[in-house]
Chains A and B, each alone.
Chain A
């Protein structure tokens, strides 16, 4: 009975229109729209990746091997399963034009490439024609960045190793580029047969071979994957198929999307503050109606339901508006996004992200409106006779607290379930909750401090009025500090994390990092290579080590994954080396190194930290598959391996006799004066054209570029939070506009000039903004410190330019919002305002 009646009352109340609910709707809609838009873009990319899975992969399935081509038996197995098998080799090398050299990622293809999709070239010629021999030299195609870097044009020659090529075209689109993963250099594509004379694919060189299969109709892909795993067991073969053609990209998009949605939730939380303020303000206007209903005999349940239904309907409206906006934005921006993203997309309306955003919106609305709604309980009929509205903030009744707790748990549960990472969800939402708590406490303290200060500022009327206003209940100090503070906190945290990470990459590492990594140094080249560098006074240090790749297949004769789970060491192949003596910087933590002339059964030195994570002990045996051969050794010592210096670090070192017979090359790092770097590269490239040089600074710049992109994406998320915060701020300013008009009228009556009153208004806004910015900086710095210290494991220093911008932003935002509403207050004639009050 009470519910149907409440529904009727709610409907009647809503006939009054949406006046007073614009802020409510805007806050909710904006928060939901941001999450829905991020989710829709993510879904669009994922659908694009799924749709183009075969093209991204270059076939229905792919088997990838490291540093070797498939054996005849393995090829025979593939040929038996597939209607077509295409072989591609992928490796880093140097493209050379005269003395000039640039790092490139070479793709050596066969005549069948690509099995799916097509390579788009400029000029628009078929790939086969572009790569074919013309005259004496084979053809090649390159990406624009490399063509520009080398300063060549179509028809010019260049060399890879000892083989010359003619550049025939520029690569506009490579169907399987998104599946290739992170590359340090732009692409060059040639025929594998053309490389025979280059010396680049000799045994031991660092290359990956990929076999793309076209499968007959009706192949059960999961069965085939299982068969392949059995056939290639212990060979380090990696399987991919068209169900997930670009797993790296898909995972990256998924993770980034999940993180941005969590950042979006912080926007929704800010919106929640605005929603809560709007409901409080609405209910305080409705006090008389509520009291009248109580006088007429309505019980508390009927009244609560009446307003709960109203707010519920409005929440649905706000969420719906947000979903419409969130679904429409990616569609509107589709042409722009498609042009900028290097991966296939399929932007359309996807229900799943909209449902996710909608649920977040409704739960947030519930969480932030329940307590204000619970206050209807405290409106008594006597309010009609005297102001007996108990405005004091008391905790609501237990059922409301329990319902709020349940809704928060549901929100956290949903967020964790939707994004799949409980760790990330709990940290992010915990951070938001912590920031909200800190801001609530700060708002309370600011009010108390301002109230106390206002009594001590005699003779400074502008400041005293400002302090009294901040310290009073009408100015909405709480809403301002909470809404603006949370947005600024997220932005401050992003700024601090980004700044520290950049500092770690750009500032700290080059001092200790090498100038170059050289890879693919053949055994017979290492002596000459070392001699050239040792005789160079500009070179301060050279570290060289044999480099093989191996897969840890068994631990103590049990399958490695059974023992180590999904630890990264047993996932795929790892760098393996051998050494007669421990390195100069090596620190043996346990056990003893083998004698320099040791030639007995294989012994292993393992990285101490990783060994502890896996649970390895001295005396444990490991079986490593190196180039198809199983080598079993015993761990005889553990050593500290520091992977953070960008120097050479191997997880696993064996005694020389165990590995030196296997085909392999050397990897080397060179530490030199910056001005000598170019000459070193020229000399070594001329002496050994097959050697690939990776400039560490360039590689770090690439990583920094990727991180900058991430920081930018996160900043956009934080900006949406800030925009919502600004809306709440405007709402708070609008809610206080009448009080300010009255205050201005009173002050004018007593002789205050408009300039004086305006100064006080600006002062109070600036002080509140300063307070919000400072608290946000504290919260953001704490967040930045926590992420830098515990997640990134980098040193932390406060990035002051970003910090000061946050505080300045806080002041500017509050002053702008405050000034927008001050004009009317300053212009109103006192007599009219005061008469209207009577």
Chain B
């Protein structure tokens, strides 16, 4: 069913060593992540699970360069994300990553087609709109290209977000509770679509979820607790 590589390459796509995140809140500094050490192989699918406030989304942000680690190192495809400035990180995401958010984060003033075309345009693809149309067709929204986010249901919006994340064919897909704002039927459909797209392009997927069933579809499940890796379980071990 999937084209997941059986022999994982030796060079990991993510390599985190003692990664830490400390944020300054109104009440003083708060340690969100403590010494996370983790390697993710290319093509691997990772499920990040754990209770609320355990640091799942923060770890995903650090891996996506959306948040800079305040300690340790974070290597993505061999590049040190902690050494890059905001613009370099943006370019890295543009060229290598697709991100799916729980709240979709579609740009309300853009149509579905324009939303999907945006990362392709940012990457300078001349055929951005053709590829965006294909991506929308692949998520079953060929007929909704000219619709604005406000004219679509939550499930449709998340499908547009999936198309936007996968259209540039990124090496890495990051998804933060992509079904969190959807009902169960829509959520299941979206997850099928996410895994199908990942399989089609062979991307590495890191998925934050509260759902054990969803996590079980990943190659590896990493459980976080209080900002630390509590346990890591391989699928074959689970099975």
Contacts and interface: CB of A to CB of B under 8 A. Distances in A.
Interface of A: 1, 5, 8-9, 12-16, 288-289, 291-302, 380-382, 384-385, 388
A299 B23 CA distance: 23
A388 B99 CA distance: 18
B109 A12 contact: yes
Given A294-B90, A381-B66, A385-B57, A302 B122 contact: yes
B180 interface: no
Given A16-B108, A16-B109, A297 B119 contact: yes
A295 B87 contact: no
B105 A295 contact: yes
B105 A5 contact: no
26 contacts: A12-B107, A12-B110, A14-B109, A16-B109, A288-B105, A292-B105, A294-B86, A295-B93, A296-B118, A296-B119, A296-B164, A297-B91, A297-B94, A297-B95, A298-B122, A299-B90, A300-B86, A300-B87, A381-B66, A381-B90, A382-B61, A384-B105, A385-B57, A385-B61, A385-B66, A385-B176
Interface in B92-127: 92-95, 97, 99, 101, 103, 105-110, 114, 118-119, 121-124
A16 B114 CA distance: 14
Chain A to chain B: the 7 pairs with minimum beta-carbon distance, closest first: A297-B94, A381-B66, A299-B87, A16-B109, A296-B119, A292-B105, A382-B67
A14 B105 CA distance: 18
Contacts of A289: 107-109
Contacts of A14: 109
Contact of A297 (B58, B110, B123, B176): B123
B86 A8 contact: no
Interface string B44-76: 000000000000011001001111000000000
A388 to B, nearest CB: 8
Nearest to B114: A12
A380 B101 contact: no
A1 B87 contact: no
B213 to A, nearest CB: 24
A299 B92 CA distance: 10
Interface of B: 23, 57-58, 61, 64-67, 86-87, 90-95, 97, 99, 101, 103, 105-110, 114, 118-119, 121-124, 164, 176
Contact of B90 (A1, A5, A297, A385): A297
B22 to A, nearest CB: 13
B48 to A, nearest CB: 13
Contacts of B103: 384
A500 B159 CA distance: 72
Given A295-B99, A381-B65, A385-B58, 7 more contacts: A1-B124, A291-B105, A293-B118, A296-B94, A296-B118, A297-B95, A382-B61
Contact of B93 (A9, A296, A300, A385): A296
Nearest to A381: B66
Contacts of A388: 23
Contacts, number: 85
A1 B57 CA distance: 33
A288 B57 CA distance: 17
A382 B114 CA distance: 23
Contacts of A5: 121-122
Contact of A384 (B23, B66, B97): B66
Contacts of B67: 380, 382, 385
Contacts of A302: 122
B126 to A, nearest CB: 11
Contact of A382 (B66, B92, B93, B119): B66
A161 B15 CA distance: 111
Most buried by B among A294, A295, A301, A384: A295
Given A294-B90, A295-B93, A296-B94, A384 B122 contact: no
A293 B90 CA distance: 9
A392 B143 CA distance: 44
Given A298-B122, A302-B122, A380-B66, A292 B91 contact: no
A365 B48 CA distance: 48
A5 B106 CA distance: 18
Contacts of B92: 297
Contacts of A288: 105
Given A300-B87, A385-B57, A13 B121 contact: no
A392 to B, nearest CB: 12
A67 to B, nearest CB: 78
A47 to B, nearest CB: 46
Q: Among the interface residues A15, A292, A293, A388, which one has the most CB atoms of the partner chain B within 10 A? A: A292
Contacts of A12: 107, 109-110, 114
Contacts of B58: 385
Contacts of A381: 61, 64-66, 90, 93
A293 B117 CA distance: 12
Nearest to A300: B87
Contacts of A296: 93-94, 99, 118-119, 122, 164
Of B90, B99, B108, chain A has the most CB atoms within 10 Å of the CB of: B90
B207 to A, nearest CB: 15
Given A5-B122, A8-B121, A380-B66, A293 B107 contact: yes
Nearest to A5: B121
Contacts of B121: 5, 8
A293 B106 CA distance: 10
A289 B58 CA distance: 20
A291 B86 CA distance: 12
A135 B121 CA distance: 98
Nearest to A9: B118
B122 to A, nearest CB: 5
Contacts of A385: 57-58, 61, 66-67, 176
A301 B86 CA distance: 11
A16 B66 CA distance: 27
Contacts of A299: 86-87, 90-91
Nearest to B99: A295
A15 B111 CA distance: 10
A1 B58 CA distance: 33
Contacts of B101: 295, 384
Nearest to B96: A297
A330 B90 CA distance: 53
Contacts of A1: 124
Contacts of A15: 109
Q: Which of B65, B91, B103, B121 counts the most A-chain CB atoms under 10 A from its CB?
A: B121
Highest count of chain A CB atoms <10 Å: which of B66, B95, B103:
B66
A12 B114 CA distance: 9
Contacts of B110: 12
Contacts of A13: 107, 109
B93 A297 contact: yes
Nearest to B110: A12
Contacts of B118: 9, 293, 296
Nearest to B93: A297
A16 B94 CA distance: 26
B119 to A, nearest CB: 4
Contacts of B122: 5, 296-298, 302
A289 B114 CA distance: 13
Nearest to A290: B107
Residue among A299, A300, A380 with the highest chain B CB neighbour number at 10 A: A299
A314 to B, nearest CB: 14
A625 B56 CA distance: 98
A293 B33 CA distance: 26
A155 B124 CA distance: 92
Contact of A298 (B90, B97, B105, B124): B90
Nearest to B88: A299
Contacts of B114: 12
Contacts of A8: 121
A301 B122 CA distance: 12
A5 B114 CA distance: 12
A291 B89 CA distance: 13
B49 to A, nearest CB: 17
B170 to A, nearest CB: 10
